[in-house]
């Protein structure tokens, strides 16, 4: 096939194919001695895919050339790509959490001194978590439970060498008694942390307020959201809450930034 067709199948430009030819990374199967037109064979596509995969892993073109000459098995390349995939997922989680923090800080600046409720859609996420019931929905009950859960989750994640990004807690009332199911954990790929259960938090619409300061005063934020829901006729039959811990740098809690979310759907 000609260079344009081969470039189309490989998903790259003809300019890059010429560049790889000049470097000796992927030489055409045939070059016409009179017109200098390059032709490629379909059997060269796996080589091109290996080249692009290695480049995507961050190797320089010199390093790619060495690896291709020495030979790399599909299993080895697959393992390298899996590791790179995991690293990119980790970066995405960190970047998402950083963006949420920046957005929250902008809300604080723009809304001071009056905090306003924001209604928004949140995507579903999977957290590596532990879940137990609290005696009731009071902060005295749920606060102690969620702290104990996070302590256990952190211990298990540290033992597993797992990356901790985006701590989230969810409080869901049980239908037949006053208990509340408390779930606490960190956003991670599903099933990636031993001794912790993957919990999927559903995609939903929420009403949210930011709480800045110690957790001992977070009840005022809950009350403000509850009052908003009542005045807006948006009070759910069984209110389910989330706490998204955007900044929780120390035990003092004086600078903590937590987004409190009331699930509306």
Q: What is the CA radius of gyration of the chain?
A: 26
Residues 108/81, Cβ–Cβ less than 8 Å:
no
Share of the chain above pLDDT 90, in %: 47
Residues 146/223, Cβ–Cβ less than 8 Å:
no
Predicted confidence band of residue 251 (pLDDT cuts 50, 70, 90): confident
The pLDDT value given to residue 6: 93
CA distances to 11, 22, 26, 77, 158 from 16, in Å: 10, 10, 10, 22, 44
Instruction: For residues 23-32, give the mean pLDDT.
Output: 92
Q: What are phi and psi of 122, to 5 degrees?
A: -115, 140
- Report the chain's mean pLDDT, rounded to a whole number: 87
Which numeric CATH code is attached to 90-263? Answer: 3.20.80.10
Q: Which two tokens stand for residue 94?
A: 């960190």
- The tens digit of pLDDT for each residue in 98-141 reads 888 787 777 777 765 566 899 999 999 899 999 999 999 888 89
CATH topology assigned to domain 3-72:
Multidrug-efflux Transporter Regulator; Chain: A; Domain 2 (1.10.1660)
Domain ranges of the chain: 3-72, 90-263
- The tens digit of pLDDT for each residue in 58-79 reads 888 888 888 888 887 778 878 8
Of the candidates 219, 216, 205, the residue with the CA atom closest to the CA atom of residue 262: 205
Within 8 A by CB and 6+ apart from 204, the residues are: 121, 122, 124, 263, 264, 265
User: Is residue 147 left, alpha or beta, with left meaning phi > 0 and alpha meaning psi from -120 to 50?
Assistant: alpha
pLDDT at 185 over 90: yes
Instruction: For residues 194-210, give the mean pLDDT.
Output: 91
């Amino acid at each position: 096939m000609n260079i344009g067709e081969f470039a189309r199948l490989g998903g790259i430009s003809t300019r890059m194919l010429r560049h790889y030819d000049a470097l000796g990374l992927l030489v055409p199967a045939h070059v016409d001695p009179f017109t200098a037109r390059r032709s490629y064979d379909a059997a060269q596509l796996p080589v091109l895919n290996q080249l692009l995969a290695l480049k995507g892993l961050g190797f320089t073109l010199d390093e790619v050339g060495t690896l291709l000459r020495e030979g790399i098995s599909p299993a080895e390349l697959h393992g390298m790509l899996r590791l790179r995939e995991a690293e990119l997922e980790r970066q995405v989680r960190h970047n998402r959490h950083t963006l949420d923090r920046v957005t929250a800080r902008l809300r604080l600046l723009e809304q001071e001194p009056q905090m306003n409720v924001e209604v928004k859609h949140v995507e579903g996420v999977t957290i590596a978590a532990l879940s137990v019931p609290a005696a009731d929905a009071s902060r005295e009950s749920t606060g102690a439970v969620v702290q104990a859960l996070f302590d256990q989750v952190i211990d298990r994640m540290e033992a597993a060498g797992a990356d901790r990004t985006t701590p989230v807690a969810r409080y869901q009332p049980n239908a037949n008694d006053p208990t509340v199911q408390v779930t606490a954990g960190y956003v991670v790929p599903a099933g990636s942390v031993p001794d912790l259960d993957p919990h999927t938090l559903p995609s939903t619409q929420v009403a949210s307020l930011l709480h800045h300061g110690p957790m001992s005063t977070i009840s005022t934020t809950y009350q403000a959201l509850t009052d908003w829901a009542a005045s807006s006729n948006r009070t759910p039959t069984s209110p389910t809450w989330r706490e998204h811990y955007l900044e929780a740098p120390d035990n003092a809690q004086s600078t903590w930034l937590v987004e409190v979310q009331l699930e509306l759907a």
